[in-house]
Amino acid sequence: MSKTPPNLNAAYGLKSSDDNKQLYAEWAGDYDDSFATREDYQLPAHTARAFVGAGGQGPVLDVGAGTGLCGGVLAGFGVGPIDAIDISAEMLDQAMRKDIYRDAIEADLNAGIPVPRESYSGVVSSGTFTHGHVGPDALNALLRVARHGAQFAISINASHFETMGFDAVLKGFEAERIHNLVLNKVRIYGDLAIGPNKDDQAIIALFEKS
DSSP string, 93-129: HHHHTTT--SEEEE--GGG---S-TT-EEEEEEEEEE
The number of helices, as runs of H, and strands, as runs of E, in the chain is: 8, 7
pLDDT for 14 beyond 50:
no
Q: What is the pLDDT of residue 28?
A: 44
Average pLDDT over residues 117-124: 98
CA dist 171 and 92 (Å) reads 32
Looking up residue 64, the CATH number of its domain turns out to be 3.40.50.150
Q: Please check whether residue 34 lies inside any domain of the structure.
A: yes
Predicted TM-score (pTM) of the model is: 0.86
Q: Please check whether residue 110 lies inside any domain of the structure.
A: yes
Q: What is the pLDDT of residue 131?
A: 65
According to DSSP, residue 146 is labeled: E
Q: Please check whether residue 204 lies inside any domain of the structure.
A: yes
Per residue in 21-57, pLDDT (tens digit) is: 454 444 444 554 455 556 788 999 999 999 999 999 9
pLDDT for 9 beyond 50:
no
User: Burial, 201: exposed, middle or buried (Cβ in 10 Å; 0-12, 13-18, 19+)?
Assistant: middle
The domain total for the chain is 1
Q: Which range marks the domain in which residue 173 is found?
A: 8-209
